[in-house]
Structure 1
């Protein structure tokens, strides 16, 4: 039996008789398989303790410990009573058998209600997997700890270090679907202890072997891109969300992703594995939904690793487009002017009955956009101060003489309007620009072909025991959008090439 098939059957066996708990159980079981601790967050009566007991049933002969914490809990109730015999011999030793220090799996309900003395010892136990029993340091065989509460620890309680050790944080809410709720009412009470087939149950040597095999699983470029996008967004929104993710949490969260890939029969992580980060990064109820959205959006935005810098290509394409437009099209209106002493002038026919002025007067082009009065010049460049000119802001100039009331209007002739194609262009430059655009287009086409090839059958590869199918579909949506954006870039290159012809 393949490992993926075995894990799928094991999850189904552990979930038997449970309603709307499949994802919670599968992810918590995945955490136990890779040695990560799980925090179950939710109101009372949502089967949190039952989930923990079911997970323990997936392992062979587990030493299981369970305790409901409260503010009156004592270390003796969690770590074992003091040995009276040893105490008589002047030794302070606990009898740890059947208590947390000797447990393979443990469930601590209402964990944050416990005393600091218990929680501080617990931190060392789950972090170092050791327990100081009198003068002896005992190895703790704890494979996974599941804790539960209907609250998250406040920032000022000094519990950040312990809370950070719970890499997996799962919301366990009431049953939402009415048909599932009715089935719950109709069926007999769900049993905590179930019998799992021997061919499915996890043995101690297998568990140790799989822990080693995790290191052979690699993080895909897409997974690293997703993590980079998430870190960037969390940093941007830190002031609002107050989500800090330690380096240790990131490292152990990626172990969870690798485990998901391993038990799904893959040697490399993919988009669906990265979706498990939804259960690893939130800290409190008020940022849980926002963090979930950030992870999902990062998975959608990542697409496939294209192997090229699309931002750089976009910048180069934009630069080429500007060069092409500057060479092919007029950036401004081009007027019929004449150069006098290095300056451009409008040549205006003299409509005044004054022969000493000459047949033409000349109006500076620079005054076209101004509305103040000015004097034109003669053909020799001398200012005609007895003639007053003024543009109206709409392109028409009123020309009048001081000594008489007569006047006439002049509207400059536009040879080429802004955006018109220039009559004389540098064909060699345009050919060179077109070749650069074609090179960019070919690079984009090669990338498109690569991504479309990767996309073939990828939906099947995204199928995961630990992630719902509708969540994995986000990756396909993102890849589809990535392909569409590449096609638009290619069309844009074709448009620029057509302009150059």
Structure 2
């Protein structure tokens, strides 16, 4: 501690009254006050410095406040701009839906298909799906298998198809004792005289366009080999000649599934399979009036859209016995040429390919028991979907067409529900939306880096990518708006879906697709905010305030990589 010398006393000062003593006393007093004055001056200087620091701190706080206000103003501008564009986009998509006119008149082929469906189901009760599947099989050059008890109008469907196409019709009931001559014709006596093993095939299966074989799985090995080649390759070996047969479509019927492995190949030849049951209890009254000839047209129309699982069951009157029956304009050549035209004119989008591949993997790897889908069946299912789209007047297969696979990818009757549920779940989950979210998260991370590095070339490229994502989400939101608010028009306009099947699909799809629409709209708003931030070339730190959830995901990704 500083020691301060004592100052002069009053007597000392008085004694130094002379001019000589006074200067000394004054000097002594001055030297005594010097240390205290230095301390006070230092303290005063420190106070002045502290005041300067306080003033500087105040000015610094004011600058910080001004920076925060400007940042908040920029955030407000970006958010306001994004919200305005977001609202305008939603309104534009709603206005586009309201401005949609009624669907144009069907293309020529679709009009003919609709007329053929109407003619085929006339006088039938609960057989709408079977009618559509038979017509689709004929157009695709494939075969239809109907599983169910006798007396459920299975043979009547094939007879009607033969009359509508104008083709030659062949029908047989197989037993375990059936011989090849019953299907392929008797041996030629003249041929045997000339040492030739040939058959007289006129009027038999090798010369017909439409065939119905009841109890198809009663075929023995003598019949089986020739039948397999005829169904798949449309070839028949008659003696030493291999002939091309004109078969358009075969309808096979059976009360039960094949039990022996040697019949698996025959089972696989029928691309479309349908379980048929009796008329439902709700429609027995209509069946009685149909048998009595008193079924009115209004009653008949109501039977085609009956409720419940029995929607497609039925019985029939003969088409020839119906006074209102009429033949359609579809010709035999159109049946033959449609499949070839569809294979070259109809595209298969990646979304449909993903459904097909994931469905097969699910059935074979995750189902219990596994459902085997051969490569041949898988490839033919693609062609079937192309034909369905082409006859519907479209140039590409859509996801809703995959609902037809419930009649294709199944070995047992209960497999159909597994296939249908998987397709509905896949469509509703919208894998494309999940991929878009991942793309946006990657774009957000790139935007953070670009705004930090300030590389102008990267900045422009990121802006273009943001615009592409916004456009993609805009289209997706418009599509979901049209689907949900428009009542699933693509599904309802298909000639291959009945009203009951459409209602069932809509009921299953609506909840998840509504949630998807909300996710798309939220993601679109985020994309618009990011796009506005990039256009303003704001500071990277502001993205944390603009999109905090995405920023946390971005930081988490950086931490995990580190």
TM > 0.5 between the two?
yes
Q: Which of 367, 371, 383 pairs up with 1:255?
A: 383
Q: Does 1:464 align with 2:494?
A: yes
- CA–CA distance in 2 between the matches of 1:66 and 1:457? 47
TM-score, normalised with respect to structure 1:
0.68
- CA–CA distance in 1 between the matches of 2:387 and 2:211? 21
- CA–CA distance in 2 between the matches of 1:187 and 1:161? 39
Q: Does 1:185 align with 2:185?
A: no
- CA–CA distance in 2 between the matches of 1:302 and 1:160? 35
TM-score, normalised with respect to structure 2:
0.61
2:353: which partner in 1?
224
Q: Does 1:482 align with 2:516?
A: yes
2:115: which partner in 1?
9
2:269: which partner in 1?
165
Give the Å deviation of 1:457.
4.5
Q: Which of 435, 440, 444 pairs up with 1:309?
A: 435
2:7: which partner in 1?
none
Q: Does 1:281 align with 2:409?
A: yes
1:246: which partner in 2?
374
Q: Does 1:53 align with 2:159?
A: yes
Which stretches in structure 2 are left out of the alignment for 5+ residues? 1-106, 293-315, 454-461, 530-542, 552-562
Q: Judging changes above 3 Å, is the alpha-carbon distance between structure 1 residues 496 and 91 closer, same or farther for their aligned structure 2 residues?
A: same
- CA–CA distance in 2 between the matches of 1:497 and 1:489? 17
Q: Judging changes above 3 Å, is the alpha-carbon distance between structure 1 residues 443 and 214 closer, same or farther for their aligned structure 2 residues?
A: closer
Q: Does 1:447 align with 2:481?
A: no
Q: Does 1:40 align with 2:146?
A: yes
Q: Which of 191, 194, 211 pairs up with 1:106?
A: 211
Q: Judging changes above 3 Å, is the alpha-carbon distance between structure 1 residues 486 and 232 closer, same or farther for their aligned structure 2 residues?
A: farther
Q: Is the 2:145–2:274 Cα contact (8 Å) retained in structure 1?
A: yes
Q: Is the 2:216–2:252 Cα contact (8 Å) retained in structure 1?
A: yes
- CA–CA distance in 2 between the matches of 1:39 and 1:480? 37
Q: Judging changes above 3 Å, is the alpha-carbon distance between structure 1 residues 11 and 290 closer, same or farther for their aligned structure 2 residues?
A: same
Q: Does 1:300 align with 2:300?
A: no
- CA–CA distance in 1 between the matches of 2:468 and 2:342? 36
Q: SS in structure 2 opposite 1:146?
A: strand
Structure with more contact order per residue of length (Cα contacts < 8 Å, sep ≥ 6): 2
Q: SS in structure 2 opposite 1:285?
A: coil
Give the Å deviation of 1:28.
1.4
Q: Deviations over 1:21-55 (max 9, x none)?
A: 11111111111111011111122222111122222
Q: Which of 182, 187, 192 pairs up with 1:82?
A: 187
- CA–CA distance in 2 between the matches of 1:173 and 1:43? 7
- CA–CA distance in 1 between the matches of 2:518 and 2:233? 50
- CA–CA distance in 2 between the matches of 1:6 and 1:171? 27
Q: Judging changes above 3 Å, is the alpha-carbon distance between structure 1 residues 50 and 496 closer, same or farther for their aligned structure 2 residues?
A: farther
Q: Deviations over 1:108-160 (max 9, x none)?
A: 11111221211221001112211111122222111111111122223x42222
Q: Judging changes above 3 Å, is the alpha-carbon distance between structure 1 residues 428 and 159 closer, same or farther for their aligned structure 2 residues?
A: same
Q: Which of 357, 363, 378 pairs up with 1:234?
A: 363
Q: Judging changes above 3 Å, is the alpha-carbon distance between structure 1 residues 78 and 284 closer, same or farther for their aligned structure 2 residues?
A: same
- CA–CA distance in 1 between the matches of 2:237 and 2:452? 82
Q: Which of 302, 313, 336 pairs up with 1:208?
A: 336
Whose strand proportion is higher, 1 or 2? 1
Q: SS in structure 2 opposite 1:72?
A: coil
Q: Does 1:135 align with 2:240?
A: yes
Give the Å deviation of 1:84.
2.4
Give the Å deviation of 1:472.
5.1
1:383: which partner in 2?
none
Q: SS in structure 1 opposite 2:291?
A: coil
Q: Deviations over 1:444-468 (max 9, x none)?
A: 6543311122345553233211113
Give the Å deviation of 1:228.
3.3
- CA–CA distance in 1 between the matches of 2:271 and 2:120? 21
Q: Is the 2:477–2:520 Cα contact (8 Å) retained in structure 1?
A: no
Q: Judging changes above 3 Å, is the alpha-carbon distance between structure 1 residues 445 and 471 closer, same or farther for their aligned structure 2 residues?
A: farther
- CA–CA distance in 1 between the matches of 2:545 and 2:358? 34
Give the Å deviation of 1:439.
11
Q: Judging changes above 3 Å, is the alpha-carbon distance between structure 1 residues 144 and 175 closer, same or farther for their aligned structure 2 residues?
A: same
Give the Å deviation of 1:193.
4.1
Q: Does 1:119 align with 2:227?
A: no
Which stretches in structure 1 are left out of the alignment for 5+ residues? 324-426, 430-436
Q: Deviations over 1:203-260 (max 9, x none)?
A: 232223323211211123332232233234224414x131121222121111111111
- CA–CA distance in 2 between the matches of 1:499 and 1:224? 35
Whose helix proportion is higher, 1 or 2? 2
